[in-house]
Amino acid sequence: MSELISPILYQLGIGGILGVVVGYAVKKVLKILALIAGLFALTLIYLGYTGIISVNYTNLAGAIGGLLGNLGGASQLLSPIIANLPFGGSFVAGATMGFKKG
């Protein structure tokens, strides 16, 4: 019985710790990306307002929508997690905790 419990506890511990680290890092990276995107948008708005550039906002919105549509491959991310449920479950729980702490 202890031969079965020990690997599960190991997977839960490692998954939880790695999840916290990854969740924390992801939140920090998302904050930086949001700052960069905001500064870029403000720059475009300012340059458009002053007449330095002419921005076609319809094409810009279409390009952004196409980019976000291509990033929707969540099933490819979840398949390995489901295959390793103890590790995956603790990883997701840890990532949630790390994301909240970040």
User: Tens digit of pLDDT for each residue in 6-19?
Assistant: 777 777 788 888 88
pLDDT tens digits, 19-72: 888 888 988 998 899 889 888 888 877 888 888 988 777 887 777 777 666 555
- Secondary structure of residue 82 in the 3-state scheme: helix
B/e letters for 56-74, b = 16+ CB within 10 Å, e = fewer, are eeeeeeeeeeeeeeeeeee
> For the whole model, what pTM was predicted?
0.54
Orientation of helix 74-83 relative to helix 85-101, angle to 10°: 120
Going by C-beta distance under 8 Å and a sequence separation of 6 or more, which residues neighbour residue 17? 94
Q: Does pLDDT of 81 surpass 70?
A: no
Q: Does pLDDT of 79 surpass 80?
A: no
Cα–Cα distance measured from residue 43 to residue 59, given in angstroms and rounded to the nearest whole number: 17
